[in-house]
């Protein structure tokens, strides 16, 4: 995805194309893992160009999320993590219980459990909890 694409996504969603939204979307798309709002800010700080305010990043993420361009993940850590909604394969997430790292795993969509009457499922999320390689090696450190 390049910038014109990002701009069009935002425009198509009915919003204004602003530096903050572009930067946030670009940052999340470039990241290998889902990021927290503060991590997005950190990345943008280390990148040439305009750095939006922290509150603006929260609002940009909220907007992107409300318009389906970005997705909030269920996380165990304190801060919410977001990833871009792309036409990628369905995938799961791994969360390390020691360092909190969250990363994407290739995985097919699991079977959908039966819901109570009247409930509607919109998305299925699979989270694997465990230890990453580094934490496993250093657990006794």
Contacts with its own copies by CB under 8 A lie at: 72-76, 78, 80, 92, 94-95, 97, 103, 105-108, 110-134, 136-137
Please tell me the distance from the alpha carbon of residue 72 to that of residue 122, in angstroms, as a whole number.
13
Q: How far is the CB of 63 from its own copies (least distance, A)?
A: 16
Q: How far is the CB of 33 from its own copies (least distance, A)?
A: 12
Q: How far is the CB of 106 from DNA (least distance, A)?
A: 26
Interface map 67-106 toward DNA (x if CB under 7 A): -----------xxx--------------------------
Distances (CA, A) of 99 to 8, 30, 63, 76, 94: 37, 22, 29, 11, 12
Nearest to 123 by CA among 73, 69, 55: 73
Q: Which residues contact 15 (CB under 8 A, 6 or more apart)?
A: 21, 63, 67
Interacting stretch for DNA, rule CB under 7 A, among 55-63, 105-113, 118-126, 130-138?
55-63
């Amino acid at each position: 995805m390049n910038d014109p694409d990002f701009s069009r996504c935002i425009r198509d969603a009915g919003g204004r194309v602003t530096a903050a939204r572009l930067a946030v979307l670009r940052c999340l798309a470039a990241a290998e893992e889902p990021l927290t709002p503060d991590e997005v800010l950190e990345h943008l700080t280390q990148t040439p160009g305009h750095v939006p305010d922290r509150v603006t990043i929260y609002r940009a993420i909220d907007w992107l999320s409300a318009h389906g361009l970005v997705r909030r993940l269920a996380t165990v850590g304190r801060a919410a993590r977001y990833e871009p909604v792309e036409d990628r394969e369905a995938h799961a997430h791994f969360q390390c219980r020691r360092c909190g790292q969250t990363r994407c795993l290739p995985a097919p969509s699991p079977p959908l459990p039966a819901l109570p009457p009247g409930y509607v499922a919109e998305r299925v999320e699979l989270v694997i909890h465990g230890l990453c390689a580094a934490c496993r090696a250093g657990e006794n450190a």
